[in-house]
Structure 1
Amino acid sequence: MKELMLIVGGVYGGLAVLFGAFGAHALKKRFSEELQKSFETGVRYQMYHAIIIIISGIIFPFIKTSQQIMGWCFLLGVILFSFSIYGLCLSSSSNNNWKFLGPITPLGGLLLLVGWILFTINASEIALYL
């Protein structure tokens, strides 16, 4: 699980840079100001979580079930949250609204929140032994 976290964290970080540049340049003419802001939110959250995924991969052994659940919450939460925002923005800009993605975004946000709660619990347990 540690290796997966480090690899996926790196991939998510690299993709956040790529998507951020793509959104700022290639999509700027296609997107309204509102869509641009939404797309940027997806990129920002993806980068934040790429960083916490890498940090988690470094500091946690992923022996405990709560650490594994935390990892999966972060990994899947980014896909459901950020990637659903990208899909909503891209489909909306082409008048092909993929409305089915709308309910997926808050589910991804919920997974990210659970990941942060579990991160806090697990980090506080590690801090007790330092």
Structure 2
Amino acid sequence: MKFFLIAGAVNALLSVAFGAFGAHLLEGRVADKYLDTWQTAVQYQMFHAIGLMVVGILMSSSLIGALGSLSWAGYLMLAGIIIFSGSLYVLSLTGISILGAITPIGGVAFIAGWIMLIVAASKAL
């Protein structure tokens, strides 16, 4: 529980910092398509930072039978942030287009994380 709350808060902080970095320091230094890519990474990081905090809060409510599913949801969301947003950040800064090939793996992790949250909710209710 504590891990996911802290991981969510740290990722929310990083999302805001990376958003400001992109808006103020990357403009004029990278192509507009890479600024858009950077913004997508920031948005998905924030959405899933909130998801991590939700997971942590739900774990603290001791949903019987759902803790395993909630853990999976949290770890998959965290992996998604690292793979999806991380690859887009690096792509935006370097222009190495092959990095776009691993981004969908992070997207699948996001989807699987939300599915596990659904599974946890259905077990708890």
The two structures have a TM-score, normalised by structure 1, of: 0.86
Partner amino acid, structure 2, of 1:81? F
Runs of 4+ with >3 A deviation: 61-64
Greater helix share, structure number: 2
The one-letter code of the counterpart of 2:113 is: G
- Distance, in Å, in 2 between the alignment partners of 1:73 and 1:103 is 19
CA distance in 2, matches of 1:80, 1:40: 15
- The alignment yields a C-alpha RMSD, in angstroms, of 1.6
CA distance, structure 2, for counterparts of residue 4 and residue 68 of structure 1:
10
Per the normalisation by structure 2, the TM-score is 0.89
Q: How many residues matched? A: 121
**In 1, are the aligned partners of 2:76 and 2:113 still within 8 Å (CA)?**
yes
Residue by residue over 1:78-125, the C-alpha shift from the partner in whole angstroms, topping out at 9 and shown as x without a partner, is 100001100011001xxxx262x2222110110000000111121233
Aligned residues with identical type, % of pairs: 40
Match status 1:72 vs 2:70: no
Shift, 1:59, TM fit: 0.9
Residue 8, structure 1, aligned to residue 7, structure 2: yes
Amino acid in structure 2 at the alignment position of 1:58? I
User: Contact (CA 8 Å) 2:67, 2:120: kept in 1 or not?
Assistant: no
Gaps of 5+ in 1: none
